[in-house]
Structure 1
Amino acid sequence: MFHRRCRPVRVISACLVVSVVMLCWENAAVNHVKSYSFRFLVDHFSHINKSLTITREQAQRFSNFHNLLDHPEKCAGEDVLLLVFVKTSPWNIVRRDAIRSTWGNETYIQRTLGVTVKVMFALGVPAMDTDAIQERLIQEDRRHADLIQQDFIDSFYNLTLKLIMQFHWMHHRCAHARFLMSADDDVFIHMPNLVEYLQDMSRRGVTDFWVGRVYWGSPPNRSKDSKYYVPFEMYQWWSYPDYTAGGGYVVSGDVANKIYQVSLTLNASLYIDDVFMGICAKAVGVSPEDHMYFSGEGKAPQNMCIYNHMMTSHGHVEDLHDLWKAATHPQVKEKTSGILGRLYCMATKIFLLCKPQHFNTYPCSAAFY
């Protein structure tokens, strides 16, 4: 008798749950349909550029900050293949030290790979405990001479200011670098693979070069509960211009200069820095190139067949040293070469990358590369 009475309640509850799920799915689907329609059918991104264009005097509020820590001679007199800017926060000293002793070790790169790579850390000022933390930063910078700091508050909502700082610093301090990379401080960069790749690009004399994990036609997040919420008043269009994941991407020197120039007259209130990069690039006619071994927001599988082609992998903090040791071990190249090695790695990568639940690191197509 009890079960019979509960049956209508169960049916009503199930209907409510299904309705909520369908409503959420429908909203997401509608947003993506609008976004892709705008991106691939309408493509009026020129309206975005016009609406965000401001005077140079107005744009100075996004770049006219004082340098608290700076190294103007960092690149002087050197043939710099790559300038890497790592976005970091004042508190992440352990992360910076881990990078300095692994993929960001400039001495290792020079001696082992035979090229000059400069690794700098971009940061603002802490919102709390300013004096104590700032003193620690000064001491850290005296030891390593690699912190670039300006006097804006270091927060998620000021990431675009940090992006602008990177391009301005390169323009004034290291304009002759052939490539610029922007990365997060929890990203692993396979520096030997990346250097080999960029050396090949440099020999080809590439221009208008911008590579990373590309997001095509992404819609703005309108959910107020999301960290990435963007109100209509800030960005009123259905789609963002194509952009690369902010965790790690590379541009050629000519693109870096173009981004610097256009940033002098764009409203940088949009605090999602990788999207703002896409807006800047669209304004100067540069399109991103997708590279299957640049990760998105996810962590790549840890396997020697992956290491052989890996460029970046996101979400590494405690495991950075172990990953660096494993990924750069001489046996990686030895065991993955030859016909048998390549066949074994293709099968392994199919198993690792071609899963329905696998997303946001390397695509299934990377298994056949």
Structure 2
Amino acid sequence: MVKNVIFLVKQILKSGFTILVTLFVLHLIWNSTADTEKVNKRDMHKPISMAVTETVTFESVTTTEDAFTTEKTTEKVTYTKYQTFKYIHLPLKICELDGGQFDPFLLIVVKSSALQIGNREAIRSTWAKFNNPNIKLVFLLGYSPLIKQYINMEYNLYKDIVQQNFLDDYFNNTLKTIMGLDWTVTHCPKSKFVFFVDDDYFVNLPKVLNYIDYHVRKQTKHLIAGHKYTGAVPKRKTGSKWYVSWQDYPEKRWPPYLSGGSMIMAMSVAKLLKEQIPYTKPLFIDDVFLGIVAKSLNIELWNERKFSVSFVPDRLGSLFSAHRYGSPKNLISEWKRVRCNHKNLFQKLYGSPDC
């Protein structure tokens, strides 16, 4: 059953239909057994840093998500209970602690919307289909009652999903990033580098590895690199999707930060960020949030424009990553084109392309 559904999804992608068609088909498959779970979604216009208590019911288990209360200590304010969320799925055989032979040199952590089934399938069949046991990949998901059954089936087939029980929503991206850091540091502490990337990015992994190798040879300490922003101004108009009040952030400009869509960091940095997060006021803009954490630690952010925030088809052979490839079908076609045009670059990691 599981393989049949996955096969159906892949056929739909190849035929050029959108992910909405995929979801419609899946809805028909499970319509007769759909549950009636309800999730109390927090008000999207309410800043994530305010004290909010929500209750989410998962089958017979009820958890209280009191995620953003504060406690004052004699030294500094602690923003407690970031980790009150429970894991729904944990990957298997990725690192030593979950049954793998060893912790990989490079751990790729893909932040994915639960609904983006097509993106994950396209990634698995393109740039994530590498031949190197020292590289492992997982997907980070929040909870979505709409396709709970499908995610369970997807997990059972691939065992590459990290999922907690917070609602999978844009305004919870910071929670997804925190989950990724927590899982990475806790389960794969011997890995050397972590590559955070969103599911709408084209990734040129050979170029990423060359970049890592360059910094290994230079013995760069505490590397964290990506597309860097400096001098950005918070959105203060209440109608903005990215509105942040002066109470939640009282400065005129954001600190330097890296685009959260694609960035590489040494495990030493991931550990420092994880340790500092409980002492950092929450913010729903995940890349800015990490910039604030990095600033509090005096960690230098490396600017590397080859982690592109736009999609430039003519440069995919030289970029590390590129944002917004379009549909899953477009990722598959662009992947084949770039591999055929740069055979030597991709040969070692992916084998010979079928051109």
Secondary structure in 1 matching 2:141: strand
Letter in 1 for 2:297: V
1:1-369 equivalences under 5 Å are 59-71=79-91, 73-76=93-96, 77-105=101-129, 108-110=130-132, 116-126=134-144, 130=145, 133-268=147-282, 270-296=283-309, 298-300=310-312, 302-303=313-314, 306-318=315-327, 319-329=330-340, 331=342
- Structure 2 vs 1, CA of residues 207 and 224 (structure 1 numbering), >3 Å: closer, same or farther? same
Separation in 2, partners of 1:313, 1:192: 14
Question: Displacement of 1:58 after TM fit?
Answer: 5.2
For residue 350 of structure 1, what is the aligned residue in structure 2? none
Q: CA deviation at 1:311?
A: 0.4
Letter in 1 for 2:89: L
SS in structure 1 of the partner of residue 240 of structure 2:
coil
- What value does the CA root-mean-square deviation take over the aligned residues? 2.2
Please state whether the residue corresponding to 1:133 is helix, strand or coil: helix
Structure number with higher strand proportion: 2
Greater helix share, structure number: 1
Give the AA of the match of 2:306. Answer: Y
Amino acid at match of 1:109: N
Contact (CA 8 Å) 2:174, 2:285: kept in 1 or not? yes
SS of corresponding position for 1:213? strand
Kept in 2: contact 1:178–1:202 (CA 8 A): no
Cα distance in 2 for partners of 1:232, 1:331 equals 49
The 3 A distance-change label for structure 1 pair 170 and 54 is farther
1:280 is displaced (CA, Å) by: 0.8
Q: How big is each residue's C-alpha offset from its partner over 1:261-286, in whole Å with a ceiling of 9 and x where there is no partner?
A: 10122222x10000001011111111
Larger Rg: 1
Q: What SS is found at the alignment partner of 2:332? A: helix
Q: TM-score, normalised by structure 2?
A: 0.71
Does structure 1 conserve the Cα–Cα contact (< 8 Å) formed by 2:181 and 2:274? yes
Residue 42 of structure 2 is matched in structure 1 by: none
Counterparts of 2:126 and 2:77 in 1: how far apart (Å)?
42
Shift of 1:53: 9.3
Structure 2: which 5+ runs fail to align?
A: 1-69, 346-355
- Distance between the aligned counterparts of 2:237 and 2:263, measured in 1? 27
Mapped partners of 2:161, 2:103: distance in 1: 21
Aligned length: 268
1:273–1:329 Cα change, 3 Å: same
User: What is the identity, as a one-letter code, of the residue corresponding to 2:142?
Assistant: G
4+ residue segments displaced more than 4 Å: 52-58, 330-334
**Matched residue type, 1:327:** V
Indicate if the aligned counterparts of 2:94 and 2:103 stay in contact, CA closer than 8 A.
no
CA–CA distance in structure 2, aligned partners of residues 71 and 209 of structure 1 = 26
Tell me how far 1:78 sits from its aligned partner.
2.3
Q: CA deviation at 1:171?
A: 1.2
* Structure 1, gaps ≥5 residues long: 1-51, 335-369
The answer to which of 310-319 and 66-75 deviates more is: 66-75
For the residue of structure 1 that corresponds to 2:114, the secondary structure is: coil
TM-score, structure 1 normalization: 0.68
Instruction: Return 312-321 or 92-101, whichever deviates more.
Output: 312-321
Change (3 A) 1:212 1:72: same
Q: Counterpart amino acid of 2:218?
A: R
Q: 1:72 to 1:57 in 2, by over 3 A?
A: farther
CA offset at residue 232 of structure 1?
1.6
Q: CA deviation at 1:203?
A: 3.4
Question: SS where residue 236 of structure 2 aligns?
Answer: coil
CA distance in 1, matches of 2:308, 2:277: 26
Tell me by how many angstroms 1:79 deviates: 4.8
Matched-pair contact (CA < 8 Å) for 2:307–2:321: yes
- Listed one character per residue, the Cα deviations across residues 30-87 of structure 1 (whole Å, up to 9, x for unaligned) are xxxxxxxxxxxxxxxxxxxxxx996699533222210000126421132512111111
Deviation (angstroms), 1:134: 1.2
